[in-house]
Amino acid sequence: MKRILITLAAASCMLCACTSGNESSDPRVNSLMKRMTLDEKIGQLVLFTSDWSVTGPTMRQGYIDDIRSGRCGNIFNAYTADYTRKLQEIAVNETRLGIPLLFGYDVIHGFRTIFPINLGIAASWDVPAIEASARIAAREASAAGLHWTYSPMCDVCVDPRWGRISEGSGEDPYLGSQVAAAMTRGYQGDDLSDPVTILACVKHFAAYGAPQAGRDYNTVDMSERWLREFYLPPYKAAVDAGALSVMASFNELDGVPATANSFLLKDILRDEWGFEGFVVSDYTGINEMVCHGYAADEADAGRLAINAGMDMDMQSASYFNYLKDLVKSGKVSRKTLDESVRRVLNVKAALGLFDDPFKYCSPEREASETLTEENKAFARKLAAESMVLLSNDGVLPLKKGEKIAVIGSLADSKDDLLGSWRGAGEVRSVPVSILEAIREANGGNVIYAEGCKERGEDRSGFSKALTAALGASKVIMVIGENNNWTGEAASRSDIHIPGVQSELLRKIAATGKPVAVVLLNGRPLDLSAELPYAGAMLEAWYPGTMGGYAVADVLFGEVNPGGKLPVTFPRTLGQVPIYHYAKNTGRPYVHPEAKYESRYLDVPNEPLFAFGHGLSYTRFDYSEIELSSPAFSGDGSITAEIILTNSGERAGGETVQLYIRDLVGSVTRPVKQLKSFSKVYLEPGESKTVSFVIDKSMLEFYRKDMSYGAESGDFKVFIGGASDKVREASFSYEE
C-alpha cells in the first residue's frame, strides 16, 4: 500500500488549519500548496457524484479516472464503509500526492434512522433533542464513510406553496437560528477530527425560501433590510456555531445569482461574519447562471463564480473544464485559486483526513451504530414530540379496547412516513405503518378500509369506508400528501388536501361517528374545509422510521402532545404570505365592519392556526405578566415572569413563548417578534414561575441608517402558548 506523503503533526482545534494570509496553521497544507500542479489544485475544487443502481453503488469510469489523475478531489452520493474505502484507496494510493477525498451526502433528517422532516423537528421546539438527532445522524453517517452533510437548511419561508419548506424550520428567524445552531453542533461536535462527527453545510445561502409565487428555483427579490433582519439570522447562527462549509442557493438576489454574488459570499459571509470554511455551489448551480442570463457561457460562469468567492463546483464541471484556461489567461488570478484550494484542504485537515483517510470507513461501526434500538427509541420519542394537536373536541385520546375504524391509504403506507430527502433510510427499516401501530396498541380491535387514494378521483372504496365507520365507535382518518409532493421541485399552486380525501371525510362525519384526522404532509395546508368535520386534528408531518408507533403513542395518550407550529397555517391561499411578524400598516384591521382598513372582504385576516399554536390533552393557564421594573436602560435588563399552571388531569409539556413589539422606531417594526421560549413540564395541578430576562439584544434591529442597535422608546412584551394567545405588559427602554 502506498504511504501518504504528507505526515506532519495533526491540527488540534475545530479549524486548526485556519488561514492567515497565504499560509495555513497546518504545515501539511502549506507543503501541499507548494507542490501541487495547476490541475491538482483545480481538482480539489471539483465535486462529482457517485451513482446508486439496483445492484449497489457505482462510479462512472470517467470519474474514477479523474480521481486517479488528481482532477477530482471530492465525491458526493457515495456511502457505505466498503465503497468509500475503495474510492479513498484510489485517491490515497494511486495519485501523486495522496490527498484524501471528501465524501458528502444529503443527511437531512437522519441517515439510516430517519427522524421527522425538519419542519416537524422544529415543531418540537426542543433544542437539545434537535441537537441529539443530528448527533445520531452524524454517528451513523460517519460510520458509513461520510465526512460531510448538506445540512442544516436555514431557509426561512413564509410561503407554503414552496415544496422545500418541509426541509427547514419554518417562518421565524429566532426559532430557525436556534435549530440551525443546534444541528450544527450535533453534526460537528466539539472536535471535527473525531470520527463520529461530520462537517455541517449551511444552506441555501441566501434567501432561497422566498421565491416569487412559491415556485422552486424562482427569482428572489427583497430589501437588504428585510434580508438582514428576517432571512440571514439562521445562516449566521450556524456559522457562529462553527459550520465550516456553506452552500450557495440556486436563486438570484438583487439581480445577481447567489452562486456568483460577492455581496453574499464575500461582503457578508467572509468579511462581516468571519467565515473561514469553504463555499460549495448547489447541484450544477454554476452552469445555471447561463440560463439566468448572467453568464455568457459555462466558462464565463466559472469565472464569475470563483471570483465572487465560490470555492467548490458541485457537478457543473465548469471548474473542471475551464478553470485552467481562466487562470492561464489571467481572468482568474492564481491568488484567488490558491485561496479556494487552501480552504478546502484546511477543512480536510480539520476532519483528520491527513492523519487517517480511512478512519470514517468502519464496517464495525457501521454494523454496531446503525439503526440501533437506542436510535430508534429516540426517533420514536422525537416523532411524538414533534406532533401538533391542532384541534380536539374530546375525541382524543383514544381508549384502548374500543372499536376503531382506520381509513385512508396513507394509514397503511410505510414509505410516506419517511418524507422527502430521507438520506439512506429504507422502507424495509420501517417496522410498522400507522395502521399496524394502532392495531398493535389496541389489541387488534381495528377495522381498516382504504376508502380512497391520496390522489385521484376514485371513489369506489367509499362504501367500504362508510361501512367500517358505522361498525366502529371512533374513526381515525389518515389524510394528506404523498411524501414526494413536498421537498425539492415539489411546489404546489393549491395547498388543499388533494384528491377526494376531504369528500370522504365529510361523508364519514355525516355518519355521526367521532372522527379524528391524522395529517401526513410537509407544508402548511388549507384545512378550512376539513376542520368542521374533524372532532380532532393531529399534525404528524412525515414522522420518520418510528413514525407509525409515535402516531399511536399520541392517539392513545401514551404521549401527551406538546408540539407547536413553527409556521402559520392560512385559512386560504389568498392570505399567503402570512406570518406572525407582519407590520401594522397605516390602516390596521380594527373594526370588522370598516371598509378602508387593511383587510379582506371575504375572509378574516387571522390565520386558521397561528404560529406557535398547539394543544394538549391537559390545560395550561397563564397568569398576568409581572415585570421586575417598568423600564431599563443601556446594558441593563428587566425580568418578565408568568405563573404557568397545569389545570388539567394529565402531566404535560408547554412551550412558553415570549414576543416583543417596538411601538415606535426609526423604521416601522413588526407587531410581534419571537425573542425567547422555554419548554416547561408540569404534573396535574402543578404551577411553576417562568422567567425571561429582557435585555438590549432583544430590542436591536437594523435602524434607518442600517446600523444595528436598539432605540429608546416604549415596548410591549407578550407571553403565551401561541403567537395569538398571549398576555401582555408594557415597558420602556432608554439607550
C-alpha closest to that of 86 among 96, 97, 75: 75
Q: What is the pLDDT of residue 297?
A: 98
In this prediction, residues 311-319 reach a mean pLDDT of: 97
Residues paired with 694 in a beta bridge:
638
Cis peptide before 397 (omega within 30 of 0): yes
Alpha helices in 331-420 (DSSP H): 334-350, 363-368, 373-386
Rounded percentage of the chain residues whose pLDDT exceeds 90: 94
What grid cell was written down for 117?
422532516
Q: What is the pLDDT of residue 688?
A: 98
Are 141 and 105 contacting, i.e. CB atoms less than 8 angstroms apart? yes
What grid cell was written down for 418?
419517511
What tens digit of pLDDT does each residue of 684-707 get?
Answer: 999 999 999 999 999 999 999 999
What grid cell was written down for 544?
420518520
Please tell me the distance from the alpha carbon of residue 463 to that of residue 447, in angstroms, as a whole number. 14
338 HSE (CA, 13 A, CB side): 18
Burial of 16 (0-12, 13-18, 19+ CB in 10 A): buried
Q: What is the pLDDT of residue 24?
A: 73
Q: What is the pLDDT of residue 17?
A: 41
pTM of the model: 0.96
What tens digit of pLDDT does each residue of 406-424 get?
Answer: 999 999 999 999 999 999 9
Report residue 10's pLDDT band, with 50, 70 and 90 as the boundaries. Answer: very low
Alpha helices in 387-520 (DSSP H): 434-441, 462-470, 501-509
Q: Which member of 66, 106, 282, 416 is catalytic? A: 282
User: DSSP secondary-structure letter at 483?
Assistant: G
3 has pLDDT over 70: no
User: DSSP secondary-structure letter at 399?
Assistant: P
Q: What is the pLDDT of residue 22?
A: 63
Q: How far is CA 201 from CA 134, 153, 606, in A?
A: 13, 8, 36
Estimate the crossing angle of helix 373-386 against helix 127-143, to 10 degrees. Answer: 140
Give the chain's count of helices (H) and strands (E): 20, 31
Are 560 and 549 contacting, i.e. CB atoms less than 8 angstroms apart? no
What tens digit of pLDDT does each residue of 257-307 get?
Answer: 999 999 999 999 999 999 999 999 999 999 999 999 999 999 999 999 999
Are 715 and 696 contacting, i.e. CB atoms less than 8 angstroms apart? no
Reply yes or no on domain 385-575 having CATH 3.40.50.300.
Answer: no
Of residues 5 and 661, more confidence is placed in 661
Q: How many CB atoms lie within 10 A of CB 274?
A: 10
C-alpha closest to that of 344 among 313, 312, 376: 312
16 has pLDDT over 80: no
Q: What is the pLDDT of residue 23?
A: 73
Q: Catalytic annotation on 282?
A: yes
Mean of the per-residue pLDDT values of the chain: 95
User: DSSP secondary-structure letter at 258?
Assistant: G
Instruction: Using the structure block, give the residue that is written with the C-alpha cell 458526493.
Output: 76
Query: What is the number of residues in the chain?
Result: 735
C-alpha closest to that of 99 among 59, 72, 81: 72
Please tell me the distance from the alpha carbon of residue 630 to that of residue 730, in angstroms, as a whole number. 7
Least confident of 19-33, 499-513, 593-607: 19-33
Q: What is the pLDDT of residue 591?
A: 87
8 has pLDDT over 90: no
15 has pLDDT over 80: no
For the chain, the domains span 385-575, 620-734
Sign of CA dihedral 453, 454, 458, 462: positive
The enclosing H or E element of 58 equals strand 56-58
In this prediction, residues 441-457 reach a mean pLDDT of: 97
Report residue 627's pLDDT band, with 50, 70 and 90 as the boundaries. Answer: very high
* Amino acid letter, 265: L
Q: How many CB atoms lie within 10 A of CB 540?
A: 30
The enclosing H or E element of 657 equals strand 652-662
Please tell me the distance from the alpha carbon of residue 113 to that of residue 425, in angstroms, as a whole number. 6
Fold match, 385-575 / 620-734: no
User: DSSP secondary-structure letter at 43?
Assistant: H
What tens digit of pLDDT does each residue of 36-90 get?
Answer: 999 999 999 999 999 875 556 777 788 999 999 999 999 999 999 999 999 999 9
Q: What is the pLDDT of residue 62?
A: 87
Please tell me the distance from the alpha carbon of residue 207 to that of residue 230, in angstroms, as a whole number. 9
Sign of CA dihedral 138, 142, 147, 149: negative
What grid cell was written down for 271?
468579511
> By three-state DSSP, how is residue 404 classified?
strand
C-alpha closest to that of 378 among 699, 128, 152: 128
What grid cell was written down for 293?
442570463
Please tell me the distance from the alpha carbon of residue 54 to that of residue 82, in angstroms, as a whole number. 17
Q: What is the pLDDT of residue 593?
A: 84
Query: Helix/strand/coil (H, E, C) string of 677-696?
Result: EEEEEECCCCEEEEEEEEEH
Report residue 387's pLDDT band, with 50, 70 and 90 as the boundaries. Answer: very high
Q: What is the pLDDT of residue 54?
A: 55
Rounded percentage of the chain residues whose pLDDT exceeds 70: 96
| 620-734 CATH pick, 2.60.40.10, 1.20.58.100, 1.10.357.10, 3.90.1150.10 | 2.60.40.10
Q: What is the pLDDT of residue 55?
A: 58
Residues paired with 615 in a beta bridge:
389
Please tell me the distance from the alpha carbon of residue 328 to that of residue 331, in angstroms, as a whole number. 8
